[in-house]
Amino acid sequence: MNKPKVLVTYRIPREGLRMLDDLAEVIYPENERFTVEELHTLVEEIEAAITVFGIPFPDELLEKSGSLRIISNYGAGVDNINVELATQKGIVVTNTPDPVTIPTAELTIGLMIALMRRVAECHYKLHSEKGLKWGVMENLGRGLNDKVLGIIGMGRIGKATAVRARALGMDIVYHNRHRLDEKMERELDTTWMPLPGLLQTADVISLHTPLTKQTHHLINREAFDRMKPGVFLVNTSRGPVVDEKELVRNLENGKVAGAALDVYENEPHIPEALLKMVQVVLVPHIGTATVETREEISRAAAENLLVFFRGGKPRNTVNPEVFNKD
């Protein structure tokens, strides 16, 4: 019996894929990724694909794939896949939300501290400028203790961020499409607010929403207009959740005191205006970039395929309705 073929579209840690060796034939890129032309050839003969967050899996490949049965996405967000089209074609789509939670929350807190305490700014100036002023009234930042943190998107990462921020003495309010139950709110010591109220209340806003049609440019001109003067913004979710042009405008006019970004509207492009601002902390989409996490995500992506090929329903299926199709 021929083994099912699994296409890994982009290089990821191979160790986590070893569990597939006995069950499947893994097609792994020799270079960083397969070219579009190679993908068009390979997609006709595969039953499964492992795709990577932020790297689009084009619609034409979904349309062309005759034998593709499941896509296991390496990462929590699945905005790189047309899930609606995959569902129409009966293709299962899974993700790997569990391994990404803690490292992304850690980065969020790290960015918050680097931004508000001006760590990144002072680091840059010490390395690049002579005569940086030292003194009692120099390089003053803002403390996190007693500040109101507004979390938009209280899923796994939002909750993990809330726990860590609370330990630093921050007061937590949140907005989520579905409100948490009272028990969870008590455990997290947090209060739900409608989005307009959160924007008007928070000293720091941290974004943790998936990218959907509804959340695209969720933080737009109207949202910025509602924010408190001197607010800080942290985004470790998806770049297009924020209208970058409006972010730049509000940084330039001082409405937003500073921003810390791990994600951007058109990655890997970063607007020149943001690159020039000392009150902006920028990192290259490293929310899950630890050795341990990237290997764990590989294992989780492979585990989704193992469960499927053994006749089960992967726990992290994002379109479970596929299993109800005739």
Select which of 238, 246, 265, 294 is catalytic.
238
Select which of 156, 216, 217, 285 is catalytic.
285
10 Å CB burial of residue 50 (0-12, 13-18, 19+) is: buried
Longest dimension (CA), the chain: 75
Look up 238 and say whether it is catalytic.
yes
Owner of token pair 């003053």? 140
Peptide bond between residue 268 and the one before it cis (omega within 30 degrees of 0)? yes
Select which of 25, 38, 185, 267 is catalytic.
267
Q: 185-197 burial, b for 16+ CB within 10 Å, e for fewer?
A: beebebeebebee
Q: Could you write out the DSSP letters of every residue in 262-320?
A: S--TBTTB--HHHHT-TTEEE--S-TT-SHHHHHHHHHHHHHHHHHHHTT---TTBS-G
Q: Which residues contact 242 (CB under 8 A, 6 or more apart)?
A: 207, 217, 218, 219, 233, 235, 265
> Which residue, 208, 213, 259, 260, is CA-closest to 238?
208
Q: Which residues contact 39 (CB under 8 A, 6 or more apart)?
A: 7, 9, 58, 61
Active site residues: 238, 267, 285
